Structure 1
Amino acid sequence: MTQLGFSTLAVHGGTELDPVTGAVTPSIATSVTFAAEYGTIGFSAEATVDEDVPFAYAREGHPNAAQLEHRLALLDGAEAAVVFSTGIAAISGLLLDVLSPGDHVLVSDISYAGTAEFTRGLLPSLGIEVGVADLSDLDDVQAALRPNTRLVYAETPCNPVLKLVDIAALADLAHRHGAELCVDGTFATPAVTRPLRFGADYVVYSLTKYMGGHGDALGGAVLGRAEPMDRLRRGIGVHLGGTLSPFNCWLIMRGLETLPIRMAAYAEGATRVARFLEEHPRVRSVRYPGLPSHPQYDLAERQMSSPSGMISFTVADHDAFGAGLKDRLEVFRYAASLGLSRSLILEARTDDLQRTTFKLDDEHLRRYRAWAGDGFFRLSIGLEDPGDLCDDLGRALMEGSDPWR
């Protein structure tokens, strides 16, 4: 199957006709336990003879998870994948598996809040050192690496300001220092960027977002080489119990079938909206990898097959625009998350992010403000008519309170 095209793999990867019914689409196996030959199943996962028992107890693995993991591995060109109940379960699971007391992990100064909260909160209490660097600047990375750095953890595009990292260059630098590289590819998906092909050792996804695509199923995944994925599944996966349910596996498998065409539609709509915003007199700046004005546009052209569907932008009067969003927007919904069929908008204030993610030093805060100012708005573009999205934002920008008139 590895020789088939991406869209074909998105539909057929990990599945085959049901040998009993001939059903074309996957069935949902809700059983929590599976019968096997005498002597092959024990009272624990370690007592089960794995090579003879594909499934024993659903916490340790079940048919729908196996199907989803197979498809994800094919889409990313990975040897193996492990799925988890949520994106943060995948992230924290990988970090707990890879890192030991005395190790150092270097994390992007701009990170998903869940990643930042976990790394600055729990990891130091376990004796793991956590450093922060601008991973888009190799000199800053070089200065932050330590002899005990075990892992470099990046996002591209990063959440929420859409900064990029050069995966190949970062992987080379990490490897030369004896560290591994993990990339959170949630904003891109393998339809846009495949980090393992650029030298990353691991890629993580929140399957809740673009991969599932409908906003109705939580899920997460880690992908990489077979040996560490097997260790992750047998250790963290089994003993912490972050198992993805059969029904959510089935929902995400369904979403993956349309991933290529949805990502193309998201990018087409986002490009139109980003251009509209860039030309609007009340918009100060727009960050979108598909615009030549993005400071890393050349990197986006090399590393991304499309600019995806996320936009950030700043306005002339942040407070006035934000205060009336609920009353003025008709198509966009003010909500967290992303990658849905519906378009979403969310406010991001720099001071709030400093309190809830990493408290940056003066230099890294200066770099952050150069991208984000005192605050901005993040858009997740959905599958609506792009003209309607532009009209909706246009009304919101022009119909504000007195400071805007």
Structure 2
Amino acid sequence: MTYKKGFATLAVHAGETPDKITGASSPNLVMSSTYVTDPDVSFSAEDFGENTPYIYTRWGNPTITQLEQKLAELEGAEAAIAFASGMAASTGLLLQFLKPGDHLVMSDVSYAGVAEFAKDYLPARGIEVSRVDLSQPENLRQALRPTTRLVYAETPANPILKLTDIAAVAAIAHAAGARLIVDSTFATPVATRPLELGADFVVHSLTKYIGGHGDAIGGAVLGKVADLAVLRKEVGIHLGGIISPFNAWLIMRGLATLPLRMRAHEENALSVARWLEDHPRVARVIYPGLASHPQAELARRQMKNFSGMISFQVKGAGEILARTFAERLEVIHYAVSLGHHRSLIFYLATQDMLRTSFTLTSAQEATYREFAGDGIFRFSVGLEDAADLIRDLEVALA
């Protein structure tokens, strides 16, 4: 009997079957770069197709295939491609579907690496880029041009946790003949499934929540089979930014516990966020699960889990407190990245972000400062006991 399996069951079993030869229950790690194959098989990417056997790991690998199948099931996608990093996934997708003369609309606040790529690399190659505050969907309508091919949104946005109404933005983009990309790294498919809301592509940094343990770098693009077949051939095979099978295996192992981890991240983050809101040295806390988030209604409507990311402003000089955190915190690591089982915190000065990553209008800068002030602490709340995290912060804030 065929029936629709639950999310937690898919996280454990999707893409995996016991080994037919050994009976091994856990998925094998296939580290081979090459495979014995039939002499009639073509070694040309032009002939690569759905039924092409494994030839060379840059083309395909059994372990990577299992990860891609699991990701597609969890995201409700027709297909997935795993890349060497989240940056490789995002930049590869943009390079594949944009050409000189095309126009890209991108969220005014997004992951710094992608923001810098759109600010410098794409315009230098003849692609026009408009940075737009997508928290207001009507801003997109005003920014669209006849040459707009892609809209790139990130929700919640890194680092200020501003949200985009995916369904509304998708409808506006599609009416203009453009396609929507959603970076859903902070949300994960536990919280939000952008394809079901109208997005054409979903991007994840697998390094973060999906891998979950801070020991493997990877990225993924999910979408329709036809689109991803082109992306695999041109970007995966020809540009070669494919994920290591070992990293794919580690990330697949992390995926099995994603639903459990995200529940724990959310529970801890809500406890810590409420405590921070009451602390006299904290000026503002931004967390989608709090009623004080300016888009709390959208968060409740669009997210089934509020994740473990908190941003907060402090009273006084954040740079000084950052040094104090680095010296005094014992449980929480003062480090970049996010979505790991251990808690991580890092200070992001607004002036540095505006200088290096974001080119914003005065109105957009004002909106950014409403969330971030002169700087924010981006806090990735881990799986430790919430009481220990609060105690750690209490000592450092004293």
Aligned partner of 2:7 in structure 1 is: 6
CA shift digits 1:219-245 (9 cap, x unpaired): 000000110011100111100000111
Task: Give yes or no for the alignment of 1:373 onto 2:373.
Answer: yes
Report the Cα distance in structure 2 between the residues aligned to 1:250 and 1:2, rounded to whole angstroms: 27
Q: 1:287 to 1:51 in 2, by over 3 A?
A: closer
CA shift digits 1:21-63 (9 cap, x unpaired): 0000001111111122221133x33356x45532111101111
Aligned partner of 1:129 in structure 2 is: 128
Q: Structure 1-normalised TM-score?
A: 0.96
CA shift digits 1:240-279 (9 cap, x unpaired): 0001111111000000000000000000000000000001
The alpha carbon displacement at 1:218 in A equals 0.5
Answer with 370-379 or 319-328: which moved more: 319-328
Aligned partner of 2:314 in structure 1 is: 315
CA contact (8 A) 1:83 1:222 kept: yes
The alpha carbon displacement at 1:165 in A equals 0.5
Number of equivalent positions: 396
1:166-185 map, 5 Å: 166-185=165-184
Aligned partner of 1:88 in structure 2 is: 87
Amino acid at match of 1:269: N
CA contact (8 A) 1:104 1:149 kept: yes
Report the Cα distance in structure 1 between the residues aligned to 2:163 and 2:244, rounded to whole angstroms: 33
CA contact (8 A) 1:2 1:74 kept: no
Report the Cα distance in structure 2 between the residues aligned to 1:233 and 1:319, rounded to whole angstroms: 43
Aligned partner of 2:140 in structure 1 is: 141
CA shift digits 1:353-389 (9 cap, x unpaired): 0112122111111111111111110100001000010
Point out where structure 2 has 5 or more consecutive residues left out of the alignment.
none
Aligned partner of 2:349 in structure 1 is: 349
Report the Cα distance in structure 1 between the residues aligned to 2:394 and 2:259, rounded to whole angstroms: 29
CA shift digits 1:133-164 (9 cap, x unpaired): 00011222222111111011000000000000
Answer with 51-60 or 220-229: which moved more: 51-60
Aligned partner of 1:303 in structure 2 is: 302
Report the Cα distance in structure 2 between the residues aligned to 1:198 and 1:336, rounded to whole angstroms: 31
Amino acid at match of 1:250: W
Report the Cα distance in structure 2 between the residues aligned to 1:103 and 1:158, rounded to whole angstroms: 24
Amino acid at match of 1:121: D
1:17-32 map, 5 Å: 17-32=18-33
| Secondary structure of the structure 2 residue equivalent to 1:61 | coil
Aligned partner of 2:76 in structure 1 is: 77
The alpha carbon displacement at 1:323 in A equals 2.8
Report the Cα distance in structure 2 between the residues aligned to 1:186 and 1:52, rounded to whole angstroms: 31
CA contact (8 A) 2:322 2:346 kept: no
Report the Cα distance in structure 1 between the residues aligned to 2:119 and 2:388, rounded to whole angstroms: 41
Report the Cα distance in structure 1 between the residues aligned to 2:3 and 2:155, rounded to whole angstroms: 25
| Secondary structure of the structure 2 residue equivalent to 1:34 | coil
Amino acid at match of 1:157: P
CA shift digits 1:94-117 (9 cap, x unpaired): 001111111100011111001011
Answer with 314-323 or 373-382: which moved more: 314-323
CA shift digits 1:195-224 (9 cap, x unpaired): 001000000000000000010000000000
Point out where structure 1 has 5 or more consecutive residues left out of the alignment.
399-405
| Secondary structure of the structure 2 residue equivalent to 1:223 | strand
CA contact (8 A) 1:40 1:52 kept: no
| Secondary structure of the structure 2 residue equivalent to 1:150 | strand
CA contact (8 A) 1:136 1:165 kept: yes
Task: Give yes or no for the alignment of 1:207 onto 2:177.
Answer: no
Q: Structure 2-normalised TM-score?
A: 0.97
Report the Cα distance in structure 2 between the residues aligned to 1:343 and 1:23, rounded to whole angstroms: 34
RMSD of the TM alignment (CA)? 1.2
Report the Cα distance in structure 1 between the residues aligned to 2:325 and 2:17, rounded to whole angstroms: 47
The alpha carbon displacement at 1:319 in A equals 3.6
1:99-248 map, 5 Å: 99-248=98-247
Task: Give yes or no for the alignment of 1:363 onto 2:363.
Answer: yes
| Secondary structure of the structure 2 residue equivalent to 1:116 | helix
CA contact (8 A) 2:148 2:178 kept: yes
Report the Cα distance in structure 2 between the residues aligned to 1:185 and 1:79, rounded to whole angstroms: 17
The alpha carbon displacement at 1:3 in A equals 1.1
Q: 1:40 to 1:378 in 2, by over 3 A?
A: same
Report the Cα distance in structure 2 between the residues aligned to 1:89 and 1:333, rounded to whole angstroms: 27
Aligned partner of 1:402 in structure 2 is: none
